[in-house]
């Protein structure tokens, strides 16, 4: 597989156009994977929704808990993956393979422990979360299957990040798309009972297990298992730089673990706190009425299609900056950092403009209620103005992860959410309703983006010069 970063790691001086070409080539697979994942999640939700509101409520009850667990496991994986990017950039493939061994073992061991804890408390979780007795059994079954699959999820997270940070964006992108497609296929057979269809004038019977919510959980677990197996095969067997050899690990596990924890802890805390913030935001919206709740939910769905390209670019930048930093090309890292930020802002400005123009049609696809459509259109058009700076925050966070600096961005993300968005949402919701909540969201995202841009400017042009200093970044754990 072609190494798009080889000229940069070798110290070749590339123009802006050539650097931008590298960013685009590395970003496109990640962007497509992010977008396809969201689209398939919507289809998945629609399939479960056909079972009725109780089924959707049962899954929704435990969804925030699953997000929290997934975020913590992914944070630990990131701790090893960033180090792999640095080792790969430095040409130390043996060191990178050492991190693959130790990273996979560590993430799997932690995932097994988390899985055991979740299985032990799963029966009580729906009641702890205040779920209606009528949905607790389905919620427990869904969570139990999720808990049992946590070790597979952890291995998948680790393998995806390791391949991406080694420069291989295509395989994880393709397999993530395949995972979403398989999820829909498995759900089709697991959720619904056997039923008849008319095809070309002939009656055919499509088999189905009719497991309902349990079927949705099993479908997701099955698709995850299949794709995790392929992902690990590509990582451990097919990858030119990371496939395991019969060699003694070159790295000291205690040092690798210490560095991984230093990177992972801020990301894990941020993920947990942000999850709690989203719960708090939902509680602010809930008293505003059914129309507001529905418009809020559907608008988040629509907006996610607009910011997924930004997250794809952020993933690519973690790999790019990590490898270029590992190769010691600090000036190139600085140029790439700013170029990626401007590229991300341009992409999400365009997607924001599309969202502003097509807001009525995009909401209309999800709801035929004129009140929901009108309110959803209004708040999406408010949010469209925040997309450029939201893009900046995503891209800058990806850059700093590539450097190995996760504490600063995590603190900025947490403070902006809890100091600005939540209090401002609560205040404005009383006088402006849902419109006020989304104004608060747009203001907070803009503040977050500006704060991270300022931090990037200080780190690249200020006295610290983090991206140009060998004592920082990859060598400063």
Overall average pLDDT of the 133-145 stretch: 88
In-domain check, residue 404: yes
Give the rounded percent of residues in the chain with a pLDDT score beyond 90: 32
For 129, the token pair is 């979360």
DSSP 3-state of 322: helix
Give me the number of domains the chain comprises.
2
In-domain check, residue 17: no
244 and 173 in a single domain? The answer is yes
131 and 94 in a single domain? The answer is yes
C-alpha to C-alpha distance for 320 and 338, rounded to whole angstroms: 13
What are 11-24's pLDDT values in tens digits?
778 888 888 888 88
Helix H or strand E encompassing 233: helix 213-233
Q: Which residues contact 463 (CB under 8 A, 6 or more apart)?
A: none
* pLDDT reported for residue 46: 64
In-domain check, residue 5: no
Taking 50 as the threshold, does the pLDDT of residue 363 lie above it? Answer: yes
In-domain check, residue 460: yes
* pLDDT reported for residue 1: 57
208 and 110 in a single domain? The answer is yes
Overall average pLDDT of the 118-132 stretch: 84
For 59, the token pair is 């899954």
Residue at which a domain ends, from 216, 251, 286: 251
* Lowest mean pLDDT across 43-47, 164-168, 412-416: 43-47
C-alpha to C-alpha distance for 154 and 72, rounded to whole angstroms: 10
In-domain check, residue 4: no
In-domain check, residue 417: yes
Overall average pLDDT of the 46-59 stretch: 69
226 and 300 in a single domain? The answer is no
Supply the mean pLDDT for the chain.
84
- For tokens 């010069």, the residue is 465
120 and 95 in a single domain? The answer is yes
Label residue 53 by pLDDT band (50, 70, 90): low
Q: Give the C-alpha distances (Å, rounded to integers) separating 266 from 50, 53, 356, 467.
A: 39, 37, 34, 20
- For tokens 């931008």, the residue is 20
Angle subtended by helix axes 387-403 and 407-415, to nearest 10? 150
240 and 326 in a single domain? The answer is no
430 and 282 in a single domain? The answer is yes
Q: What's the pTM value of the predicted model, to 2 decimals?
A: 0.77
Residue at which a domain ends, from 198, 219, 251: 251
371 and 443 in a single domain? The answer is yes
C-alpha to C-alpha distance for 230 and 368, rounded to whole angstroms: 41
C-alpha to C-alpha distance for 52 and 152, rounded to whole angstroms: 30
243 and 271 in a single domain? The answer is no
What are 246-294's pLDDT values in tens digits?
777 677 888 888 888 888 888 888 777 776 777 677 678 768 877 887 7
In-domain check, residue 290: yes
Taking 80 as the threshold, does the pLDDT of residue 150 lie above it? Answer: yes
State the CB neighbour count (10 A cutoff) for residue 402. Answer: 32
Residue range of the domain that includes 183: 22-251
229 and 361 in a single domain? The answer is no
231 and 291 in a single domain? The answer is no
Taking 90 as the threshold, does the pLDDT of residue 306 lie above it? Answer: no
Overall average pLDDT of the 321-335 stretch: 86
DSSP 3-state of 124: coil
State the CB neighbour count (10 A cutoff) for residue 394. Answer: 28
Taking 80 as the threshold, does the pLDDT of residue 217 lie above it? Answer: yes
Torsion angle (degrees, nearest 10) of CA 166, 23, 86, 472: -170
């Amino acid at each position: 597989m072609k190494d798009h970063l080889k000229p940069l790691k070798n110290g070749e001086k590339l123009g802006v156009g050539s650097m931008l070409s590298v960013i685009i080539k590395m970003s496109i697979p990640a962007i497509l994977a992010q977008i396809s994942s969201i689209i398939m999640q919507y289809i998945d939700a629609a399939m479960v929704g056909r079972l009725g509101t109780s089924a959707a409520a049962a899954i929704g009850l435990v969804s925030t808990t699953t997000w929290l667990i997934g975020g913590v496991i992914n944070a630990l994986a990131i701790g090893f993956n960033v180090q792999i990017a640095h080792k790969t950039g430095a040409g130390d493939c043996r060191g990178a393979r050492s991190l693959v061994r130790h990273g996979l073992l560590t993430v799997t061991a932690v995932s097994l422990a988390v899985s055991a804890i979740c299985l032990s408390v799963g029966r009580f979780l729906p009641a702890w979360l205040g779920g209606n007795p009528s949905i607790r059994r389905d919620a427990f079954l869904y969570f139990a299957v999720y808990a049992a699959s946590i070790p597979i999820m952890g291995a998948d997270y680790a393998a995806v990040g390791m391949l991406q940070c080694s420069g291989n964006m295509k395989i994880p992108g393709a397999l993530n798309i395949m995972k979403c497609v398989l999820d829909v296929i498995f759900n089709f057979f697991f959720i619904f009972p056997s039923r008849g269809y008319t095809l070309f004038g002939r009656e055919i019977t499509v088999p189905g297990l009719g497991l309902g919510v349990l079927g949705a959980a099993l479908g997701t677990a099955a698709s995850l298992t299949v794709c995790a197996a392929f992902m690990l095969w590509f990582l451990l067997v097919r990858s030119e730089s990371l496939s395991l050899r019969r060699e003694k690990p070159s790295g000291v596990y205690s040092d690798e673990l210490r560095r991984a924890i230093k990177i992972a802890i801020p990301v894990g805390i941020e993920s947990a706190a942000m999850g709690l913030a989203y719960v708090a935001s939902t509680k602010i919206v809930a008293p505003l009425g059914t129309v507001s709740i529905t418009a809020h939910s559907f608008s988040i769905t629509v907006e996610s299609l607009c910011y997924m390209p930004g997250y794809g670019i952020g993933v690519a930048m973690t790999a790019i900056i990590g490898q270029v930093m590992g190769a010691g090309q600090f000036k190139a890292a600085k140029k790439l950092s700013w170029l990626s930020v401007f590229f991300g802002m341009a992409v999400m400005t365009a997607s924001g403009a599309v969202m502003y123009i097509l807001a009525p049609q995009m909401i209309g696809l999800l709801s035929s209620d004129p009140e929901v459509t009108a309110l959803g259109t209004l708040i999406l058009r408010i949010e469209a103005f925040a997309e450029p700076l939201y893009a900046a925050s995503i891209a800058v966070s990806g850059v700093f992860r590539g450097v190995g600096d996760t504490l600063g961005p995590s603190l900025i993300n947490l403070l902006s959410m809890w100091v600005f968005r939540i209090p401002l949402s609560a205040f404005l919701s009383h006088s402006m309703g849902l419109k006020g909540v989304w104004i608060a969201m747009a203001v907070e995202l803009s503040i977050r983006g500006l704060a991270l841009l300022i931090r990037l400017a200080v780190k690249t042009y200020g006295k610290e010069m983090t991206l140009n200093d060998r004592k920082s970044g990859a060598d400063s754990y």
